[in-house]
Structure 1
Amino acid sequence: MSDTGAEDQAAPAGPGTVTRPGRMLAEARMAKGLTLAEVAAQLKLSPSQVAALEADDYGSLPGPVFVRGFIRNYARLLEQDPEQLSGGLDLPNASAPATAALPLSRDIPFPPRKTGSWRPYAAVLLVAVLLATAYEIFYAEPPEVLVSAPPSPAAPAERLAESVNAGRTAELPAGTAGAADVATNSATPETPAAEPGARDERPEPQGQAAPLAAGMAEVHFVFDAASWVEVRDRGERILLSQLNAAGTEQRVTGRPPLSVVVGNAKDVQMTYNGKPFDLAPHTRVEVARFVLE
């Protein structure tokens, strides 16, 4: 560019001349080796706003007051005369006060707002708590609580009869043993044979358990509310494993030790070999676990 051309551009605008400072600002910026982005960063504007200033596109900018301020700041940055560049601008409504605030630039990135980031963690925590509770109720190793089975009612009577017979046999002399046997046999009344076709009309008792075989034990449950029960015998064979409805009963017979798990234990009544059994001492988190010996 010649010196004459530079002086013509730097000369103040005469009367009736409309100053267009955009080209002067663009040439001054390029002379200093600055880019639009660098100027925008220093002026706190967006690159599109700086480009609008250089193109004299004032309609895309906020208003006359802001345009004059932008041009002055831009001129100071490029070490130009602010009054020379902004004084002769012919802008509509230049004296009107600015009522609109400077809009946010679309080119300035803003970090996205993070919302609801705690919800996935809360869901994972809830699932972990539920899994831990289920494991504690159904899969935790039962405590080693050994409960001795009450003796069968028939056992004392059998032992007493054996001891009495042994005592009588010891008191009799050897020579009179045969006579004693004869007397015993003769004292025993003969039972008449039942007539063919005769039937025993005595009704069988209702609701009573059958006599237990030797070495077996019986557990009787009465459910006041729904309850899950599992019973295993000494060989870990499952004797009962099901959900029982309210108002029902279950009888389980097996060879002890019996491993028992009772859910909702507070609403279950239990007897062991005919004797009431208290579930409360063995209950934890509404589940009773124990071993019956």
Structure 2
Amino acid sequence: MSIGVTLAAARNAAGMTVAQLAGRTRIRETVIYAIERDDFSMCGGDFYSRGHVRNIARTLGLDPDAIVHQFDEEHGGAPRPVRAAAVFQAETRIKLRERRSPNWSTAMAIALAIVAVFGVTRVMSGSGTPVATVDGVKPAATPKATASARPPAASKAAAKPVSDMVTLQVKATKPSWLEISDSKGKQMFRGTLPAGVTSTWKTRKRMQITIGNAGGVDLKVNGKRLGVPGKSGELVTRSFGPEPPRSR
């Protein structure tokens, strides 16, 4: 009776299914089905086939040595002993990267180069050629040349008025006829200013006033008092801008 038939009969006698046998032996069900048909091609070689046969026989209560001996008789005899070194020797040698010690020569060369560059930078940024010492005594440092004095700034242009507003204040000491217009000729006032009345007008850029009785009014422009612009009964025209008015 072949090994496969023997193992299948023992499994059936034990009342065990292939799935249960696979669970106990940790062998796949498809491999067990193949072994019971005397097909050991799925085992992966004679070495693993002997292991599976021994495991199944022991689980089913058979003599594992007898079953393995029968397997050897049917498959060319027992295998030759193999040295452990041959079994565990790696087929491909692993080349370990050799750790090299730090290249101190290169490191020192880099450090010296950095020091040299730093020294040259200090000399170039200094006052020029280093001063030699005599008997260990260093002469007093030569004072650095002071920066040339900047030329005086050009005189600023005449200050412009803070505002372009023109303010005119007229105080009538006698009844006086007035006509006031802005820089565009737009009329701001036309009429008679009664005696004792003071009026103020404001506009931008320029203001023109015509007075029918120049001796009967007192003028103040941009905060500066100009006084009486003319004689009694005299017709006078004046124009004022933001700049301080000139006395006439």
TM-score by length of 2: 0.34
Larger RCO, structures 1/2 (Cα 8 Å, 6+ apart): 1
Q: Which protein is bigger by CA-based radius of gyration?
A: 2
TM-score by length of 1: 0.29
Structure showing the higher helix proportion among its residues: 1
